[in-house]
Amino acid sequence: MVRHGNLAIVISVFSLAIVVLPFTASGAIDVTAVGAIAAADSNNVVVVHVDVPPTGTGLINPFLRIHHTDSEQGYNTDYRAAGNPSTNLLDDGTDTNFTQAITLGEIREVSLDTDGNGSLDTAYREFRLDLGEPGNDTSDSGLMNFSRLQFFLSSSNTEHIVGDVWNNTLGGAKLIYDLDANGDNDFTLRDLTSGNGSLDYLVYVRSSLFGADNNQFVYLYSLFGSSPPAADGTFEEWSVQAPPRSAASPPSAPEPTSLAIWCLGLVAAGFGARRKRK
């Protein structure tokens, strides 16, 4: 067990070097070291820094790819695939193989220990993030600010907004979670692999926020680089774990999660929402 303030972390089964770092000078939660774990907003969100290749075809289902210099933002939708290929959707990538709608049933549910009693007591939905920043484990160019995270639900797979200004709404979709609703929660992230192709972060969001209807479409909005460190590399990509292959399917490469996270027992207690220092 490692403690930082009143944040306690327990890793079971795998022996990992866990480092939990303090807030950065800008007030963001520092999750730059491999194995660093941070929780925010009363444990509604848990961010885990991993560095696990590969994240290729067959291992993940990408659903949101965004790219822009300095500040970049985007959300997933099937609006382009539904016959609107040239529509400006913030900084979303235009390839509909990588920016698309997903249902709640496609997002893996896992249990984490959030109160330190040794039992996996809280259900979370697991999201995966591949950064595309340059640099390495020491260069500042590998750093990036993770500024906003919001989730919406809808029975439609083509929700979208008109124009290029985000105003915290998404068509007829219902906002079910905003990481900053109770205070400003930023994370400082690091891309250790200088570009895309590896799983960099696992982001766990409390399952109860999404409800139980697996047919609902889940929309993820994220903003990177709105304050330093800025985005200055290739794209950032959100994905979920690919569904298991059938018995008749050929074997695939090892699932990245199995290397470090599948049997992870994690405690992130009492690390509530904090406002950034100005």
Separation of alpha carbons 112 and 206, rounded Å: 10
Closest CA to 222 of 198, 238, 240: 238
pLDDT for 16 equals 27
Q: Is the pLDDT of residue 22 over 80?
A: no
Cα 45 from Cα 122, distance rounded (Å): 12
- Strands (DSSP E) contained in the chain are 2-4, 7-9, 29-30, 37-40, 45-52, 60-66, 72-75, 102-103, 109-112, 122-130, 143-154, 174-178, 187-190, 199-206, 217-224, 236-241
Residue 3 has pLDDT above 50, yes or no: no
Could you tell me what percentage of the chain is helix, strand and coil, using 3-state DSSP and rounding each to the nearest 5? Answer: 5, 35, 60
Beta bridge partners of 240: 61
Percent of the chain with pLDDT over 70: 73
pLDDT of residue 253: 35
Question: pLDDT at residue 210 above 90?
Answer: yes
d(CA 49, CA 238): 14
Average pLDDT of the chain is 77
Q: Which helix (H) or strand (E) holds 259?
A: helix 256-260
Residue 20 burial by CB count (10 A; 0-12/13-18/19+): exposed, middle or buried? Answer: buried
Percent of the chain residues topping a pLDDT of 90: 45
* pTM > 0.75: yes or no: yes
Please report, for residues 23, 69, 128, 175, the alpha-carbon distance to residue 95 in angstroms, rounded to integers and kept in the order given.
Answer: 36, 19, 19, 25
Domain ranges of the chain: 23-36+44-108+128-252
Closest Cα to residue 74, out of 100, 54, 56? 100
**pLDDT per residue over 130-189, tens digit each?**
998 876 666 777 899 999 999 999 999 999 998 889 999 999 999 999 999 988 899 999
